[in-house]
Amino acid sequence: MKFFLSLKDFKGEKFVLRSELDESSAFLCAISPTCRYVLRDEIPWKRLQRNVTSESLTDELIVDLLCGRSESKHTLQLVVLENLCRIYINYVDPFPLRIAWFELEQQALKDHEHFDVLWECSHSIKDLALASMAQQKNELQKLMAYTEQLQEECKSRERKLIMKFADMIKNARNNEDNEDNHHINYEDESDVGTDEQKQQEGVNSSAVSDTDESAVSDEFMQIKEEFPMKALSASPTADASPESAGEDDSHRRSSHESSETVSE
């Protein structure tokens, strides 16, 4: 895979660092408008010169730096010397420190070199763009699939919640109906008890009436035995005698008065 980086030296001269990397080898080429510097090395880096021992400077990190991937603690710096060029790897935390570098040998610049670099750069950009688009498409498909999965889970949970609420409403209605039926049954039992009580009261009242009637009948029979029928039959005449007696007295008095008048 080919990668292109834009670098500047201390004088501000512009360079293009072209890196061709595979599993076991690397080709580095720094090109300016006037010169060209080249380095061929193997991976692991045998021609890398280290200033200090750093465990963090691994082969993977060096490849990432040459490919242009951002790394917050390490940077690349190009310095042009006599007949060579150095690509320094700086450790910037807490202050810039050159921990390793590559030395590229100067070579003659060919007339068609710039065109080849531009052509390779355009194709590299195209390949990177296509690879990036393919990666984004793959990520988008995964995201769409994950979104559909979430939608299905949401629908399933929604259905479960609806069924749960429906069961709760159904149970509540059943409980309400059971309470109403229990209340109605209780009222019916109360009515039945009231009717039975009324019937019992009616029976008791009829028994009392019968008892009273029998008592009156017994009393009447006792009176009948004590007083003869003549007395009972004469009692109305006796009751009516005062009026008739009064009438007889008045009649007698008038007759007596009339007789006295005649005698005179």
Q: Which residues contact 110 (CB under 8 A, 6 or more apart)?
A: 36
What average pLDDT score do residues 10-31 get? 90
The pLDDT, as a whole number, for residue 100 is 93
pLDDT of 211 over the 70 cut: no
Q: Is the pLDDT score of 230 beyond 50?
A: no
Residue 162 has pLDDT above 60, yes or no: yes
- 264 pLDDT band (50/70/90 cuts)? very low
CATH classification code of 2-109: 2.170.210.20
Mean pLDDT, residues 65-88 taken together: 89
Integer CA distances (angstroms), 260 to 151, 200, 247, 248, 257, in order: 143, 78, 20, 18, 5
For the chain, the domains span 2-109
Instruction: Give the pLDDT of residue 86.
Output: 95
Residue located via tokens 């008095």: 253
| Maximum mean pLDDT: which of 9-13, 83-87, 172-176, 244-248 | 83-87
Question: Which has the higher per-residue pLDDT, 247 or 130?
Answer: 130
- Asked whether the predicted pLDDT for residue 184 surpasses 80, the reply is no
Please count the residues of the chain: 264
d(CA 261, CA 54): 183
Q: Element (H or E) spanning 18, and its range?
A: strand 14-21
Mean pLDDT throughout 252-260? Answer: 53
198-209: per-residue pLDDT in tens?
Answer: 677 665 666 545
What pLDDT digit, counting tens, does each position of 116-139 carry?
888 888 778 778 788 888 999 999
pLDDT category at 256 given cuts 50, 70, 90 is low
Q: Is the pLDDT of residue 239 over 50?
A: no
Q: How far apart are CA 92 and CA 95, in angstroms?
A: 5
pLDDT class of 56 with cuts at 50, 70, 90: confident
pLDDT category at 237 given cuts 50, 70, 90 is very low
Mean pLDDT in residue range 59-86:
88
Please report where in the chains the tokens 């498409």 appear, as a residue: 137
Tokens of 59: 């082969």
